[in-house]
Amino acid sequence: MGYRSDVLLGIAFPSTDAMIAFASAQRVTGDEYTAEAIKRYGVTHMSADWGEGVVMWAYFGGVKWYGDYPSVKAHRRLISAAYEEEYSTIVIELGEEAGDIKYEVDHRDKSDGGMLYECFDLVREITRPAIVQPLFGEKE
């Protein structure tokens, strides 16, 4: 992704304890960018037919999301670490151009990736003005 992007990152955990253990370990073993990155994440508790869980997530709107930025590297390391530890992850990056979309959900053993689908939606829509005066008198 170049120029400006909207980015969402999420990690699904089976419990709050698992999430806290993961985040604490990353803060201790990571660099200062990792510690700052973790501060950007929020938490959503999920409850559905499949059971209970917790999603740790961060959203960035209109940011320069270049892979060589230290803060971007830190967020990518968090997602990679979660993947390695068998937690399901989601990465959505929307660039300024219509085709510039990255949408990845990785299902892993320790957490149900279905939580990520229930928690986040990717919606592209066309906005248009209302027709004030129809051409041939037809209504919308």
| Residue 50, pLDDT score | 64
Query: pTM of the prediction?
Result: 0.84
* Of 15, 17, 36, nearest in space to 26 by CA: 36
- Domain definitions of the chain by residue range: 5-118
The more confidently predicted of residues 73 and 2 is: 73
Sequence-separated (6 or more) residues with CB below 8 Å from residue 107: 88, 113
Task: Give pLDDT tens digits for 89-132.
Answer: 999 999 888 788 899 999 988 888 788 888 888 877 778 888 77
CATH number of 5-118: 3.30.70
Task: Give pLDDT tens digits for 4-48.
Answer: 899 999 999 999 999 999 999 999 998 899 999 999 999 999 876
What pLDDT band is residue 61 in, cutting at 50, 70 and 90? very high
**Dihedral sign (CA 13, 14, 17, 22):** negative
| Residue 113, pLDDT score | 78
